[in-house]
Protein backbone atom coordinates (compact mmCIF):
# COMPACT_ATOMS: atom_id res chain seq x y z
CA UNK A 1 0.00 0.00 0.00
CA UNK A 2 1.35 3.47 -0.88
CA UNK A 3 2.43 5.59 2.06
CA UNK A 4 0.98 8.98 2.84
CA UNK A 5 -2.46 10.41 3.52
CA UNK A 6 -5.77 9.55 1.92
CA UNK A 7 -8.10 12.17 0.48
CA UNK A 8 -10.29 12.18 3.59
CA UNK A 9 -7.24 12.49 5.84
CA UNK A 10 -6.17 15.50 3.78
CA UNK A 11 -9.53 17.16 4.36
CA UNK A 12 -9.24 16.41 8.10
CA UNK A 13 -5.74 17.86 8.23
CA UNK A 14 -6.78 21.07 6.47
CA UNK A 15 -9.68 21.60 8.84
CA UNK A 16 -7.56 20.83 11.90
CA UNK A 17 -4.81 23.23 10.84
CA UNK A 18 -7.18 26.10 10.08
CA UNK A 19 -9.06 25.63 13.35
CA UNK A 20 -5.71 25.67 15.15
CA UNK A 21 -4.37 28.87 13.62
CA UNK A 22 -7.53 31.00 13.42
CA UNK A 23 -9.96 31.30 16.34
CA UNK A 24 -12.60 32.71 13.98
CA UNK A 25 -12.90 29.37 12.18
CA UNK A 26 -15.55 26.97 13.44
CA UNK A 27 -17.39 23.96 12.00
CA UNK A 28 -21.10 23.25 11.92
CA UNK A 29 -23.19 20.48 10.41
CA UNK A 30 -25.31 17.41 10.98
CA UNK A 31 -23.71 14.83 13.30
CA UNK A 32 -20.22 16.35 12.99
CA UNK A 33 -19.67 16.64 16.74
CA UNK A 34 -20.40 13.63 18.92
CA UNK A 35 -20.62 11.22 15.98
CA UNK A 36 -17.72 12.73 14.03
CA UNK A 37 -19.59 13.14 10.75
CA UNK A 38 -21.24 10.68 8.36
CA UNK A 39 -17.84 9.90 6.83
CA UNK A 40 -15.90 10.54 10.07
CA UNK A 41 -14.14 13.61 8.73
CA UNK A 42 -14.43 15.37 12.09
CA UNK A 43 -14.00 12.36 14.36
CA UNK A 44 -12.40 13.55 17.61
CA UNK A 45 -12.60 17.25 16.71
CA UNK A 46 -15.15 18.06 19.38
CA UNK A 47 -12.95 16.66 22.14
CA UNK A 48 -10.03 18.72 20.88
CA UNK A 49 -11.67 22.04 19.98
CA UNK A 50 -14.81 22.06 22.16
CA UNK A 51 -18.56 22.43 21.68
CA UNK A 52 -18.41 26.08 20.68
CA UNK A 53 -16.26 25.37 17.59
CA UNK A 54 -17.58 21.97 16.49
CA UNK A 55 -21.33 22.44 16.43
CA UNK A 56 -23.94 19.77 15.79
CA UNK A 57 -26.97 21.14 13.97
CA UNK A 58 -30.51 19.99 13.23
CA UNK A 59 -31.24 18.41 9.84
CA UNK A 60 -32.12 21.77 8.32
CA UNK A 61 -29.79 22.88 5.55
CA UNK A 62 -31.43 26.28 5.08
CA UNK A 63 -31.05 26.95 8.81
CA UNK A 64 -27.44 25.76 8.87
CA UNK A 65 -26.38 27.99 5.98
CA UNK A 66 -28.45 30.90 7.29
CA UNK A 67 -26.75 30.64 10.68
CA UNK A 68 -23.35 30.45 8.97
CA UNK A 69 -24.11 33.62 7.00
CA UNK A 70 -25.06 35.42 10.20
CA UNK A 71 -21.87 34.28 11.90
CA UNK A 72 -19.79 35.38 8.90
CA UNK A 73 -21.35 38.85 9.03
CA UNK A 74 -20.09 39.17 12.61
CA UNK A 75 -16.51 38.39 11.53
CA UNK A 76 -16.35 34.61 12.03
CA UNK A 77 -15.37 32.02 9.40
CA UNK A 78 -17.85 29.15 9.42
CA UNK A 79 -17.19 25.88 7.61
CA UNK A 80 -20.47 24.08 6.97
CA UNK A 81 -20.60 20.35 6.32
CA UNK A 82 -23.57 19.16 4.27
CA UNK A 83 -23.82 15.45 4.97
CA UNK A 84 -24.48 14.69 1.29
CA UNK A 85 -24.27 17.60 -1.15
CA UNK A 86 -27.47 16.43 -2.86
CA UNK A 87 -29.33 18.03 0.07
CA UNK A 88 -27.73 21.39 -0.51
CA UNK A 89 -30.88 22.03 -2.58
CA UNK A 90 -32.65 22.51 0.76
CA UNK A 91 -30.35 25.47 1.48
CA UNK A 92 -30.30 26.77 -2.09
CA UNK A 93 -32.04 30.06 -1.36
CA UNK A 94 -29.74 31.02 1.50
CA UNK A 95 -26.60 30.28 -0.51
CA UNK A 96 -27.53 31.61 -3.94
CA UNK A 97 -30.03 34.35 -3.12
CA UNK A 98 -28.30 35.78 -0.08
CA UNK A 99 -24.70 34.70 0.57
CA UNK A 100 -23.67 35.00 -3.08
CA UNK A 101 -25.10 38.52 -3.40
CA UNK A 102 -23.95 40.27 -0.23
CA UNK A 103 -20.72 41.55 -1.74
CA UNK A 104 -22.61 43.00 -4.71
CA UNK A 105 -25.46 44.47 -2.62
CA UNK A 106 -23.50 46.36 0.01
CA UNK A 107 -19.88 45.21 -0.04
CA UNK A 108 -20.25 42.73 2.82
CA UNK A 109 -17.90 39.78 3.04
CA UNK A 110 -19.43 36.33 3.63
CA UNK A 111 -16.40 34.09 4.32
CA UNK A 112 -18.22 30.77 4.51
CA UNK A 113 -17.21 27.39 3.11
CA UNK A 114 -19.91 24.85 2.32
CA UNK A 115 -18.26 21.45 1.96
CA UNK A 116 -19.27 17.81 1.73
CA UNK A 117 -19.35 14.66 -0.39
CA UNK A 118 -20.65 14.69 -3.94
CA UNK A 119 -20.62 12.35 -6.91
CA UNK A 120 -21.48 8.72 -7.53
CA UNK A 121 -19.88 5.37 -8.16
CA UNK A 122 -20.57 3.95 -4.70
CA UNK A 123 -24.13 2.66 -5.10
CA UNK A 124 -25.70 5.56 -3.22
CA UNK A 125 -28.61 6.00 -5.61
CA UNK A 126 -30.40 9.13 -6.87
CA UNK A 127 -30.49 11.05 -3.57
CA UNK A 128 -26.88 10.53 -2.42
CA UNK A 129 -24.83 10.51 -5.65
CA UNK A 130 -25.60 13.62 -7.65
CA UNK A 131 -23.20 16.05 -9.29
CA UNK A 132 -24.62 19.37 -8.08
CA UNK A 133 -21.92 21.74 -9.30
CA UNK A 134 -23.74 23.42 -12.19
CA UNK A 135 -26.49 24.86 -9.98
CA UNK A 136 -23.83 26.93 -8.27
CA UNK A 137 -21.27 27.48 -11.05
CA UNK A 138 -23.83 29.69 -12.78
CA UNK A 139 -24.44 31.76 -9.63
CA UNK A 140 -22.22 34.86 -9.56
CA UNK A 141 -20.59 35.31 -6.17
CA UNK A 142 -19.87 31.66 -5.34
CA UNK A 143 -16.55 29.95 -6.04
CA UNK A 144 -16.74 26.20 -6.74
CA UNK A 145 -13.82 23.83 -6.12
CA UNK A 146 -13.55 20.10 -6.91
CA UNK A 147 -10.11 18.66 -6.08
CA UNK A 148 -9.02 15.27 -7.39
CA UNK A 149 -6.02 14.53 -5.17
CA UNK A 150 -5.30 14.54 -1.42
CA UNK A 151 -2.72 17.32 -1.71
CA UNK A 152 -5.14 19.55 -3.58
CA UNK A 153 -7.93 18.69 -1.16
CA UNK A 154 -5.76 20.01 1.64
CA UNK A 155 -4.28 23.16 0.15
CA UNK A 156 -7.44 24.22 -1.69
CA UNK A 157 -9.64 23.72 1.37
CA UNK A 158 -7.26 25.93 3.33
CA UNK A 159 -7.51 28.54 0.55
CA UNK A 160 -11.30 28.27 0.58
CA UNK A 161 -11.46 28.86 4.34
CA UNK A 162 -9.30 31.97 3.98
CA UNK A 163 -11.32 33.35 1.05
CA UNK A 164 -13.47 36.38 1.93
CA UNK A 165 -16.55 35.14 0.10
CA UNK A 166 -18.63 31.93 -0.29
CA UNK A 167 -16.90 28.79 -1.54
CA UNK A 168 -18.59 25.48 -2.37
CA UNK A 169 -16.04 22.72 -1.81
CA UNK A 170 -16.97 19.42 -3.46
CA UNK A 171 -15.25 16.31 -2.10
CA UNK A 172 -15.87 13.25 -4.26
CA UNK A 173 -16.92 10.48 -1.89
CA UNK A 174 -15.43 7.74 -4.11
CA UNK A 175 -12.00 9.31 -3.52
CA UNK A 176 -12.22 9.56 0.26
CA UNK A 177 -10.47 6.33 1.17
CA UNK A 178 -8.84 5.25 -2.09
CA UNK A 179 -5.51 3.71 -0.98
CA UNK A 180 -3.93 4.23 -4.41
CA UNK A 181 -4.32 8.01 -4.04
CA UNK A 182 -2.27 8.31 -0.84
CA UNK A 183 0.17 11.22 -0.94
CA UNK A 184 2.61 13.01 1.29
CA UNK A 185 0.76 16.22 2.08
CA UNK A 186 2.21 19.73 1.90
CA UNK A 187 3.01 21.28 5.24
CA UNK A 188 0.71 23.72 7.03
CA UNK A 189 2.27 26.80 5.43
CA UNK A 190 1.23 25.82 1.89
CA UNK A 191 -2.01 27.46 0.76
CA UNK A 192 -3.51 26.69 -2.64
CA UNK A 193 -4.75 29.19 -5.19
CA UNK A 194 -8.37 29.05 -6.29
CA UNK A 195 -8.96 29.45 -10.01
CA UNK A 196 -5.91 27.54 -11.21
CA UNK A 197 -5.94 24.28 -13.17
CA UNK A 198 -3.15 21.65 -13.20
CA UNK A 199 -1.62 19.44 -15.86
CA UNK A 200 -1.72 15.85 -14.55
CA UNK A 201 -0.08 14.29 -17.61
CA UNK A 202 1.80 15.94 -20.49
CA UNK A 203 0.99 15.35 -24.15
CA UNK A 204 0.54 17.29 -27.39
CA UNK A 205 -1.77 15.15 -29.59
CA UNK A 206 -4.94 15.51 -27.54
CA UNK A 207 -6.03 17.20 -24.34
CA UNK A 208 -8.63 15.67 -22.04
CA UNK A 209 -10.17 18.19 -19.64
CA UNK A 210 -11.83 16.95 -16.47
CA UNK A 211 -12.19 17.39 -12.70
CA UNK A 212 -12.84 15.44 -9.52
CA UNK A 213 -12.85 11.64 -9.57
CA UNK A 214 -13.14 11.57 -13.37
CA UNK A 215 -9.56 12.84 -13.63
CA UNK A 216 -8.31 9.42 -12.58
CA UNK A 217 -10.34 7.65 -15.27
CA UNK A 218 -8.92 10.12 -17.76
CA UNK A 219 -5.40 9.26 -16.64
CA UNK A 220 -6.14 5.56 -17.15
CA UNK A 221 -7.50 6.35 -20.60
CA UNK A 222 -4.40 8.41 -21.41
CA UNK A 223 -2.21 5.44 -20.51
CA UNK A 224 -4.22 3.22 -22.86
CA UNK A 225 -3.94 5.82 -25.63
CA UNK A 226 -0.20 5.94 -25.05
CA UNK A 227 -0.10 2.34 -26.27
CA UNK A 228 -1.46 3.70 -29.57
CA UNK A 229 1.33 6.24 -29.69
CA UNK A 230 -1.02 9.12 -28.76
CA UNK A 231 0.43 11.76 -26.46
CA UNK A 232 -2.53 12.70 -24.26
CA UNK A 233 -2.48 15.68 -21.97
CA UNK A 234 -4.79 15.48 -18.94
CA UNK A 235 -5.90 18.84 -17.59
CA UNK A 236 -7.45 18.86 -14.11
CA UNK A 237 -9.62 21.96 -13.70
CA UNK A 238 -9.57 21.82 -9.87
CA UNK A 239 -11.49 25.12 -9.74
CA UNK A 240 -14.81 25.13 -11.61
CA UNK A 241 -15.69 28.73 -10.79
CA UNK A 242 -13.62 30.63 -11.67
CA UNK A 243 -12.18 28.57 -14.51
CA UNK A 244 -8.53 28.82 -15.50
CA UNK A 245 -9.19 30.11 -19.01
CA UNK A 246 -5.52 30.84 -19.63
CA UNK A 247 -4.42 27.23 -19.09
CA UNK A 248 -7.45 25.76 -20.86
CA UNK A 249 -7.01 27.86 -24.00
CA UNK A 250 -3.25 27.31 -24.05
CA UNK A 251 -3.81 23.54 -23.95
CA UNK A 252 -6.21 23.78 -26.90
CA UNK A 253 -3.69 25.76 -28.93
CA UNK A 254 -0.92 23.28 -28.17
CA UNK A 255 -2.92 20.08 -28.74
CA UNK A 256 -5.56 20.97 -31.34
CA UNK A 257 -7.97 18.23 -30.28
CA UNK A 258 -10.09 18.43 -27.15
CA UNK A 259 -12.13 15.92 -25.19
CA UNK A 260 -14.06 16.98 -22.09
CA UNK A 261 -15.09 14.31 -19.59
CA UNK A 262 -17.21 14.76 -16.49
CA UNK A 263 -19.47 12.74 -14.22
CA UNK A 264 -22.28 15.28 -14.40
CA UNK A 265 -25.12 14.78 -16.86
CA UNK A 266 -24.73 15.85 -20.49
CA UNK A 267 -27.34 18.58 -20.84
CA UNK A 268 -26.15 21.87 -19.32
CA UNK A 269 -23.03 20.21 -17.89
CA UNK A 270 -19.76 22.10 -17.65
CA UNK A 271 -18.58 20.58 -20.95
CA UNK A 272 -21.03 22.80 -22.82
CA UNK A 273 -19.66 25.98 -21.21
CA UNK A 274 -16.07 24.90 -21.85
CA UNK A 275 -16.85 24.13 -25.49
CA UNK A 276 -18.37 27.58 -25.97
CA UNK A 277 -15.32 29.30 -24.49
CA UNK A 278 -13.01 27.26 -26.71
CA UNK A 279 -15.06 28.01 -29.83
CA UNK A 280 -15.23 31.72 -29.04
CA UNK A 281 -11.53 32.16 -28.31
CA UNK A 282 -9.40 29.54 -30.08
CA UNK A 283 -11.60 28.03 -32.78
CA UNK A 284 -8.93 28.46 -35.45
CA UNK A 285 -6.54 26.20 -33.49
CA UNK A 286 -8.97 23.26 -33.41
CA UNK A 287 -8.24 20.28 -35.67
CA UNK A 288 -11.53 18.56 -34.84
CA UNK A 289 -14.83 19.29 -33.07
CA UNK A 290 -14.69 19.41 -29.29
CA UNK A 291 -16.18 16.14 -28.02
CA UNK A 292 -17.53 15.26 -24.58
CA UNK A 293 -18.00 12.13 -22.50
CA UNK A 294 -20.57 12.55 -19.74
CA UNK A 295 -23.20 10.76 -17.69
CA UNK A 296 -26.62 10.12 -19.16
CA UNK A 297 -29.48 12.58 -18.66
CA UNK A 298 -31.17 10.48 -15.98
CA UNK A 299 -31.14 10.30 -12.19
CA UNK A 300 -28.30 8.21 -10.75
CA UNK A 301 -29.41 4.54 -10.57
CA UNK A 302 -29.20 2.52 -7.34
CA UNK A 303 -28.23 -0.73 -9.08
CA UNK A 304 -24.46 -1.01 -9.34
CA UNK A 305 -24.48 -2.27 -12.94
CA UNK A 306 -26.92 0.44 -14.02
CA UNK A 307 -24.83 3.05 -12.24
CA UNK A 308 -21.78 1.81 -14.10
CA UNK A 309 -23.65 2.20 -17.37
CA UNK A 310 -24.80 5.67 -16.32
CA UNK A 311 -21.33 6.95 -15.45
CA UNK A 312 -18.56 7.48 -18.02
CA UNK A 313 -16.01 4.66 -17.90
CA UNK A 314 -12.39 4.48 -19.06
CA UNK A 315 -13.38 2.60 -22.20
CA UNK A 316 -15.87 5.36 -23.12
CA UNK A 317 -13.13 7.97 -22.86
CA UNK A 318 -10.71 5.87 -24.91
CA UNK A 319 -13.31 5.21 -27.62
CA UNK A 320 -14.18 8.89 -28.01
CA UNK A 321 -10.53 9.92 -27.91
CA UNK A 322 -9.75 7.51 -30.74
CA UNK A 323 -12.55 9.06 -32.79
CA UNK A 324 -10.96 12.46 -32.26
CA UNK A 325 -7.50 11.25 -33.22
CA UNK A 326 -8.88 9.66 -36.39
CA UNK A 327 -10.86 12.76 -37.39
* Residues classed as catalytic: 128
Q: For residue 214, count other CB atoms closer than 10 A to its CB.
A: 29
Here the contacts of 37-42 (C-beta below 8 Å, separation 24 or greater) are 37/81, 37/83, 38/83, 38/84, 38/117, 39/8, 39/117, 39/173, 39/176, 40/8, 41/8, 41/11, 41/12, 41/15, 41/81, 42/12, 42/15, 42/81
> Taking the alpha carbons of 294, 239, 181, 210 in that order, is the dihedral positive or negative?
positive
Residue 296 to residue 216: CA distance in whole angstroms: 19
Nearest to 209 by CA among 302, 275, 117, 137: 275
Amino acid sequence: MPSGATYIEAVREALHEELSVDDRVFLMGEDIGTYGGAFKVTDGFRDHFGDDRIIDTPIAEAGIIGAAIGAALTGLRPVVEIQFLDFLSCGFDQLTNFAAKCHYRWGAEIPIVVRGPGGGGVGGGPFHSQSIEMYFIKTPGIKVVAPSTPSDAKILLKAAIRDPNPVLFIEHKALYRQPALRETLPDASVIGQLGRAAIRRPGDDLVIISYGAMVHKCLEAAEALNQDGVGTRVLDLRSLQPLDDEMILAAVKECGKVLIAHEDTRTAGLAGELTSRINENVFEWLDAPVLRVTAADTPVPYNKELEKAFLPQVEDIVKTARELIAY
